[in-house]
Amino acid sequence: MINFSNFEKKTKVIFKNKKLLEQAFMHRSYINENPSTNLSHNERLEFLGDAVLELIVTNFIYKKYPNYAEGELTALRSALVNAVIISEIATDIGMNDYLLLSKGEAKDKGKARSYILANTYEAYIGALYLDQGIDVVDKFVTKTLLPKTEEIVTKKLWRDAKSLVQEKAQEFVNFTPAYKVLKESGPDHDKNFTVGIYFGTNLIAEGKGQSKQEAEQKAAEAALKVKNWMD
């Protein structure tokens, strides 16, 4: 079994109940290969952590941005707690080295691993909440995730690029943007897509992502830059 003491030292958070910490890192696939383990997988902790994380982020941005309307706050919160951002944070603090996975899952380093890391971060928050309460969780989230807020706001990453480019295209060129998959590559579990955004028959820009939705967002962001519609 993995020793979590180095992770505790790195995060400066020492768990009272070590089993809770261990469970936070335990993926369902690990249980399937190790049925004798006396712990459950981390999905219930993830469910709890997701709610706690949303509350902390909501409270933070509500106080920090008093002039933002409800829709803007919702978009900003979504940008902060999305799986890509959270998996990056989880990687930065070293969670990847402590995941309890099946041998098959352990080999997968693509999109599936990113989602596992994001879920583990949320499960860890759930475990920490049960172990030490909301104030300690608040400090952890403030230290690890909330510093991303400034970058998201400064670069206006919280805005939905597809909605914005549609609004601008209809205003300036009287077109509704259309998206088309130009290329697919990679195995089914780790696909990569290249999507083009068109105004009529004109290809304006391209975007790449690990899902069609992500590639469309990237294409929309690129089109905003090409057209100088970033505000």
Annotate 55-72 with b (16+ C-beta within 10 A) or e (fewer): ebbbebbeeeeeebeeee
Nearby residues of 38 by Cβ (< 8 Å), 6 or more positions away = none
Catalytic-residue membership of 150: no
**How many CB atoms sit inside 10 A of residue 122's CB?**
26
Structure tokens at 166: 């549609």
Give the separation between CA 105 and CA 116, rounded to whole angstroms: 10
DSSP 3-state of 44: helix
Sheet of strand 178-185, all strands in order from the earlier edge strand to the far edge: 178-185, 192-199, 202-209
> Is 50 an active-site residue?
yes
Tokens representing 129 are 């909440």
Out of 22, 46, 105, 122, which one is annotated catalytic? 122
Catalytic residue chosen out of the listed positions 46, 50, 105, 216: 50
DSSP letter assigned to residue 14: -
- Identify the three-state secondary structure at position 109: coil
State the Cα–Cα distance between residues 193 and 207, nearest whole angstrom.
8
Task: Give the helix/strand (H/E) hosting 179.
Answer: strand 178-185
> Which token pair is 66?
């008093």
Residue in 180, 179, 167 with CA at minimum distance from that of residue 229 = 167
Which active-site residues does the annotation give? 50, 122
